[in-house]
Structure 1
Amino acid sequence: MSSRHLQQIIPATSVSDGAGVKIKRSLGLNAQLRFDPFLMLDCFGSEQADDYIKGFPPHPHRGFETVTYMLDGHMLHEDHLGNKGHLKSGGVQWMTAGRGIIHSEMPQQEQGLMRGFQLWLNLPAAEKMKPAAYIDISPEQIPQFEPMPGVSVKVIAGSFNHETASVTGPINGLSTEPLFYDIRLTAGSEITVPLPPGHHAVLYPFTGTVLVRKADGLQQLNEHHAGLLSQGESVTLAASADVSLILLAGKPIAEPVVQYGPFVMNSSAEIEQAIRDYQHGKLTAGGPATQIKLSSPA
């Protein structure tokens, strides 16, 4: 198997979003820092309530999917479809904005640690105007296994195929064929993770430093840095000290991307239409909501 290596490292930059929530943004910091099909990757984490307490009041989206993975804490999702979901430690919310959704994400705690990720995953042109959809994924629905001593993997999306086991997460069947893994390695451990050839792949350590093995040695990816991987059939990860990271992979869409705030389309004309639709209360019109179907963990 040809091995992938780090081809670009993007340090996360501290910014604020929503009503002043402090986050670290790597992918999506500007238009040049996307990695098709991934538009944006935010990591939030603080024990100071002032950094998150005002949350994300109602706001619109069109043209892509959002994935929120809560490592620690409690937030409430509400949207115009009537969905109401409590996102708690270890849980995931997968939302397809499609032609339009208006939602909020508000903290349900007044103190303590709140930590997690939000990923923006693009949709192809043929799917940008499909009906919105939303689903809660509880921690119990996310399979976790130890493919080898010192290595633990949670499979949120796609399948993790290893010589010791093949495990399927709750999200599958999407056109971008996303993989979303939460990987923990203890000091001295190492694992080779198979990846689909042609998929773009990203590493993001949120605790500690991960080492990426290549033919002539090891590359270091520090905490809160996004590492874009080269092409290949696998990546080998190692740890000199305990490390926690997410690994994302997805099939590139290879279409134009035009973004204006919470709208992501293929042309400026489509963005202008999205703005008009939102201003005139038509963003969310056009067909009933659909259901995202969960896979049965394997």
Structure 2
Amino acid sequence: MSLRPTLETRRAQPTLEGAGVKLHRAFGFQDPSELDPFLLFDDFRNERPEDFEKGFPWHPHRGIETITYVLSGTVDHADSLGNTGSLGAGDVQWMTAGRGILHQEMPHGNRNGQMHGFQLWGNLPSSQKMTAPRYQDVTAADIPEVTDDDGTIVRVITGEFWGKKGPVDGIAADPQYLDVTIPAGVNKTFHIDTYRRAFAYIFDGSAAFVDAAAPTGVLLEKEVAGQEVNIRDLSGDRTLIRFGSGDEITVQAGEQGVRFLLISGAPINEPVAWHGPIVMNTQQELMQAMRDLRNGTFIQPAH
């Protein structure tokens, strides 16, 4: 077993999106190869309805998948295919845009006016960029949750983990998407297939991700993979941790415990031509998408 080094730790940055939604972006619109197959990750969390209720009005997508995970409040959605629905606390929507879709997402606060959720964009390989759009809406009750003896809780949204399989399937990047809660002071090791790119995103509490390459820090209380390892300073809320190659990560939870997303997927390793919500492989394909939007052929009938 080999421990994945920490390549980068960075804070999500405040950003405005949609019709004026205040959110924090952990990555996106920079180097699409660094977390291939993932392109963008947003944390939309607000206490004031005026900061989010204008939402994300009608906009196009092509060539990607969007994954929306709601923790509190609701998100109403509608699209150009006639689909409508609402995501509540704990629900997930995995939308494959494929050859093209127009949709809108309108967030609403809970009874206290609070809204919290995440959106992740996953790239599609060239062979699937022009497939028919589809949705997978998953309710909170359908997401398996497993608890270990030390109190660690993991919600398995997609992929397999600790004998449970997430309800979302048929995804190009073969991703694993976990919502992990670790009690205060607990050390925990998670296996991640070596071929996957992986990142963690802390959104509650704090933790240190063990890094065998770290020259300074607090000595972990046990050896990992037969070697003593050091941990960096604790990382807290809205922190992204990007991992290098290996097949394990080890986490030491802080004094208040920690909750984070652990996400990994198989890299596509293809060229990326990206403009806003449209991601293709070449500039020619991107220009064709723009022409399709202008001349009304972006949305194609089902075959």
**Both structures adopt the same fold (TM-score exceeding 0.5):** yes
Is residue 2:268 matched to residue 1:250? Answer: no
| Aligned residue type for 1:8 | E
| Aligned residue type for 1:53 | E
Is residue 2:181 matched to residue 1:184? Answer: yes
Distance 1:125 1:32 in 2: 15
Deviations 1:167-201 (A, max 9, x none): 11111332211010000111011221111111000
Partner of 1:292: none
Instruction: Name which of structure 1's ranges 131-140 and 213-222 shifts more when overlaid on structure 2.
Output: 213-222
Partner of 1:217: 230
Distance 2:293 2:287 in 1: 10
Distance 2:248 2:189 in 1: 6
Partner of 2:222: none
Contact 1:27/1:33 (8 A) holds in 2: no
Partner of 2:116: 115
Deviations 1:131-151 (A, max 9, x none): 100121100010111123221
Partner of 2:192: 195
After TM superposition, list the pairs within 5 Å mapping 1:63-74 onto structure 2: 63-74=63-74
Distance 1:210 1:203 in 2: 11
Instruction: Measure how far apart 1:287 and its partner are.
Output: 2.8
Aligned-residue identity in percent = 40
Partner of 2:300: 285
Partner of 2:165: 168
Partner of 2:156: 155
Instruction: Name which of structure 1's ranges 208-217 and 60-69 shifts more when overlaid on structure 2.
Output: 208-217
Q: Check 1:33–1:16 CA distance in 2 against 1; reply closer, same or farther (3 A cut).
A: farther
Distance 2:4 2:251 in 1: 10
Distance 2:236 2:89 in 1: 24
Contact 1:72/1:89 (8 A) holds in 2: yes
Contact 2:73/2:116 (8 A) holds in 1: yes
Instruction: Name which of structure 1's ranges 188-197 and 261-270 shifts more when overlaid on structure 2.
Output: 188-197
Aligned to 1:239, which of 240, 250, 253? 253
Deviations 1:86-107 (A, max 9, x none): 1100000110000001000112
Deviations 1:57-98 (A, max 9, x none): 111000000000001111101111111121100000110000
Contact 2:32/2:39 (8 A) holds in 1: no
Distance 2:231 2:209 in 1: 6
Q: Which runs of 5+ in 1 are unaligned?
A: 289-298
Distance 2:170 2:58 in 1: 29
SS in 1 for 2:16: strand
Deviations 1:111-133 (A, max 9, x none): 61100100000000000000100
Partner of 2:27: 27
Q: Check 1:167–1:193 CA distance in 2 against 1; reply closer, same or farther (3 A cut).
A: same
Partner of 1:61: 61
Distance 1:46 1:108 in 2: 10
Contact 2:98/2:133 (8 A) holds in 1: yes
TM-score (ref. length: structure 1): 0.91
Q: Highest Rg: 1 or 2?
A: 2
